[in-house]
Amino acid sequence: MLALCLYIFLVLSNSCVLVSSLNSEGIALWSFKKGIGQDPEGSLNNWNYSDETPCSWNGITCKDFKVVSVSIPKKKLTGFVSSTLGSLSELRHVNLRSNLFSGSLPVELFKVQGLQSLVLYGNLFSGVIPFEVGRLNYLQTLDLSQNFLNGSFPVSLLQCKRLKVLDLSQNNFTGFLPEGFGGNLTALEKLDLGFNKFEGPIPSDLGNLSNLQGTVDLSHNMFSGSIPASLGNLPEKVYIDLTYNNLSGPIPQNGALINRGPTAFIGNLGLCGPPLKNPCSAQSEASSPESEPFLPNNSPLDGVGNDGNAKGLSRGAVIAIIVGDVVGICVIGLLFSYCYSRICACGRKKDESGFGFQKGGKGRKECLCFRKDESETLSENIEQYDLVALDNQVAFDLDELLKASAFVLGKSGIGIVYKVVLEDGLNLAVRRLGEGGSQRFKEFQTEVEAIGKLRHQNLVTLRAYYWSVDEKLLIYDFIPNGNLATAIHGKPGMVSFTPLSWSIRLKIMKGTAKGLVYLHEYSPKKYVHGDLKPSNILLGHDMEPKISDFGLGRLANIAGASPTLHSNHMASEKPQQSKQGSALSEAATTVTSTTTSGSCYQAPEALKVVKPSQKWDVYSYGVILLEMITGRTPVIQVGSSEMDLVNWIHWCIEEKKPLSDVLDPYLAQDADKEEEMIAVLKIAMACVHSSPERRPSMRHISDTLERLPASSH
């Protein structure tokens, strides 16, 4: 009898265990939790496998014991989103915004037919939007902004006719918007496609979206062609942002487009007409009969009188024109004769400073000098004999520059760099491009003045330049705290070395990213730096980063300095005060250069003969991030062999090395910021992807970094 009772007790106990075990939806969410790498705030601590259902778990909402909502925003969660979420048959809402999830969007999630809102903005998701999104017939909100998603706009999305909110901004989407965009998504109340790479014409049926509110953002894309007049059919309170595209032609003046300020259209060089100050040409306005200019009957441009006869000039007017022409020719002849005598009177001579360019006193009048055998190609061989300022803040001249004290900072493959201290205490950096004989002055002038117009807090400013056949100088702001390479690793002979804290490193990462975003997207020529590395990221008074040397390779090539673009021959900084006058020339002989592996910062495709790409800079930036996180040099000794930093990181991942083996030991004091370091490490790994197309843009990198708080210690 006792044995029988014990048997019944055990059976009942097992039954209780079975009844209290986690149901299938809880198991699906448990798999989701297993895919999360970091939960620094303990957001999922009450997710227990011993519970019967997940309905009491943080972020989970149930109805009739079925999960209808998963909402875990702003918790700094890392990892990937498990496909098991797709097995939650009654799921209606998913909100994982502002975390650090990465990887692709799980296709299974887009098969939950009852899904009404999917909010994933502010993560690190990559890849394409699954075609299965078209199955979500009840979808009302789709917000995938601020990620690294790419590919084209999914045509199947047009089947989501209940969609009210569509935000795909700040990704890497490309291609045309599909036909029927405005005809199918008529329920839309919010539309934001800004900061992508969409191209082609703006769909003409976009004006059918009569329920839109707020701002329709199509900015910072590559839309081309004219602005459809149908956009004027949108509600008048809607603000249409078309800035920074490739749009052209007159701006339609109807409906919602009327009375918009110029700020809605800037960055489209081909647009014309009000509200812009750029008037349309007759050709561009030919299709608009209201655009014909009004000329009064007595206009001097009107060649035909009211009687239909051609109007002629009066006899007095003809005589006045002839006399004026004769006087003008005489004046020009006298001026030419005077200038010719001045030109022939002046001679070329080497200046006592040793630079080899002509120099006179303040207030002097210069004349252009050239050799007789150059007279047939003057436009190619004109020499510039004065300092050319590139902004109105330059308050020094060539004489002051030459009389200043000079210190050698270093020597690279593109000339010697000096620190120059003027008499008034102003510090400048002067790069001497050498004594190449190239005389392509006009080309040099165009390029250097374009660079001189670039203004950003994270770029070194080019203030002035000097050109002669024998000498070319570039004058920059002097940046006081050295370069990032020295800040990370120190340098030989340094007595004391203070490692950078995580907060300073993050500040440098963010600032450098912002500088590259400006070069890539907002500079007039959308520059590619092409040679980014820690030695040309300089550090200002507050350790703010300043990118230097952009455009330098081309300038050196024009100047005949035979640049080695990807070399990293930077001399140790051993400032030596030189004598006035001949300082720059004498100090150059004291420099000895050391070589490091600058090629480690090059993207793999840069080794081929291809046009430089912005994705080259992204790769270089990724290597710099790895260097700042690990504290390692670009070339690492592993056993008896050497390995570059990118391959070393991949090796550590394959060998499953602990994170402590990867991070810079100096960062141990910032252990509480480990999740931020992991996030940056993931960004770096995306940057150094072997395929350029898979690398994010600098703008998306910058936006992601900005979501990481800058700590202060």
Give the residue numbers marked as catalytic. 531
Q: Please give the backbone phi and psi of residue 669, each rounded to the nearest 5 degrees, phi first.
A: -70, -15
Q: Assess contact for 55 and 67: CB atoms under 8 A.
A: yes
For residue 161, what are its two tokens? 């006719």
- DSSP letter for 400, please: H
165: phi then psi, degrees, rounded to nearest 5: -125, 120
Strand arrangement, sheet containing 405-412: 388-389, 462-467, 472-477, 427-432, 415-421, 405-412
Long-range contacts of 147-153 (CB under 8 A, 24+ apart): 147/120, 147/121, 147/122, 147/123, 147/171, 147/700, 148/124, 148/172, 148/686, 148/696, 148/700, 149/105, 149/125, 149/173, 150/126, 150/174, 150/693, 151/127, 151/175, 152/128, 152/176, 153/177, 153/178, 153/198
**Hey, which bits of 499-653 come out as E strands?**
537-539, 545-547, 635-638, 641-644
Q: Report residue 192 as tokens.
A: 């934001």
What's the rounded Cα separation, in Å, for the pair 177 and 201? 8
Please list the helix, strand and coil fractions of the chain in percent, rounded to the nearest 5, in that order: 35, 15, 50
- What residue ranges in 399-479 does DSSP mark as E strands? 405-412, 415-421, 427-432, 462-467, 472-477
Element (H, E) at 50: none
Torsion, CA 36, CA 37, CA 38, CA 43, rounded to 10: 20
Exposure class string for 270-296: b at 16+ Cβ within 10 A, else e: ebbbeebeeebeeebbeeeeeeeeeee
CA atoms of 523 and 613, how far apart (whole Å): 15
